[in-house]
Structure 1
Amino acid sequence: MSSYFRRQLADYVEYHRDPWNCAMHVFGIVFLFLAAILPLSLWSITIFGFQTSAAAIAVIPVLIYWFLLDFALGAAILGAAIVLLSAAAAIVGHTTTAGMWSLTAILIVVGVASQVVGHRVFERRQPALVDNPSHLLLGPMFVMAKLFIALGFRRDLAIIIQVHPQGAAS
């Protein structure tokens, strides 16, 4: 785990202390990721003789970024991305274009609403990405790190994520 990732994660954690906010982020991040890739799943692309979608190509740069931040978390997110890319392909294959765009709009509204509610209602502060736009890409890493910790893995991340905020009683 890079020192850059440790610093970014520690900063991100300060905006995500409330468990309900964290739960809202799990759904919000998944919905927003799916909303981002769903329209791109309409476009089929052939690269080096292999058929894929624009969605699969579009996620490659961010997957590389996540791998560079932390290989294990990046690999887990790759697995989740494959599931979501497959779901998007299935949705596109079984619905009309209008239905796909309607679902995309619903996913965006619900995804953004869950983020806003999580921060405003439970955390009582603005989202982390308002202060640091790069935090938009840290959300999936944070959610995956929380999952790894819950499963008993990655004590190094638990130290960063589960530390008490400054001034809080132990």
Structure 2
Amino acid sequence: MLHETKMAGSFQRQLADYVEYHRDPWNCAMHVVGILLLFTGAVLPLTLVHFNVFGIEVSLAVILALPVLVYWLMLDAGIGLGILAAMIVLLWVATTIGNQVSIAMMWSIFAVLIALGVASQIIGHRVFEERQPSMVDHPSHFLLGPMFVMAKLFIALGFRRDLAAILAPLPANSLSTR
């Protein structure tokens, strides 16, 4: 068995707490959509601001995403690397959109992405989970959403059996007693 680091143990405890607010499969699906939309929308305007860092032009989106990415990698390197791969794709999408449309259109797309992302989170919790979002009780859960989604993907692909028990759905009869 691999030696469990302090951060890995912390991640598993945080994930166990987070999953209590995300048991319904439809809520989980809404979170996948919402997180992708929110991240893309949030970084869209930031991709237009560039800095020269050690001779390399880097967008503000990348600069601001790095500390969160480091945090995710520290919590769990495998899940963090999965998020890095998704982040690269989403940053590329946002950069492409930002470079192809007018500033007014970019802000319109930003507003739509953020509105749809927030709406999917609210619908997921209110309609399917029938409870308030976990961020209300635990603001740090804002940063766990992408980790949760990536962990679910890894498990669905047959990886990370160590997290499967933490994220296992409740039996059908226990959902009605929430």
State the aligned residue count. 168
2:166 matched to 1:160?
yes
Q: Describe the SS at the equivalent of 1:52.
A: strand
1:1-170 alignment, distance < 5 Å: 2-162=8-168, 164=170, 168=174
Q: CA–CA distance in 2 between the matches of 1:36 and 1:65?
A: 18
Letter aligned with residue 11 of structure 1? D
Shift of 1:117: 0.3
Q: Is 2:23–2:169's contact at 8 Å kept on the other side of the alignment? A: no
Query: Matched residue of 2:174: which SS?
Result: coil
SS of equivalent to 1:168: helix
Using the alignment, how far apart are the partners of 1:62 and 1:116 within structure 2? 23
Quick one: percent identity of the two aligned structures?
61
Any gaps of 5 or more consecutive residues in structure 1?
A: none
**Which structure 1 residue ranges, 4+ long, deviate > 4 Å from structure 2?**
none
* C-alpha distance in structure 2 between counterparts of 1:72 and 1:91, whole Å: 29
Q: Which runs of no fewer than 5 residues in structure 2 stay unpaired?
A: none
CA distance in 2, matches of 1:89, 1:15: 33
Q: Please report how far the alpha carbon of residue 168 of structure 1 lies from its aligned counterpart in structure 2 after TM superposition.
A: 2.9
Could you say what secondary structure the match of 2:35 adopts? Answer: helix
Cα RMSD over matched residues?
1.4
Q: Is the 8 A contact 2:45 2:107 kept in 1?
A: yes
User: 1:4-33: per-residue Cα shift (whole Å, max 9, x none)?
Assistant: 111100000000000000000000000000
In structure 1, how many angstroms separate the alpha carbons of the residues matched to 2:53 and 2:151? 33
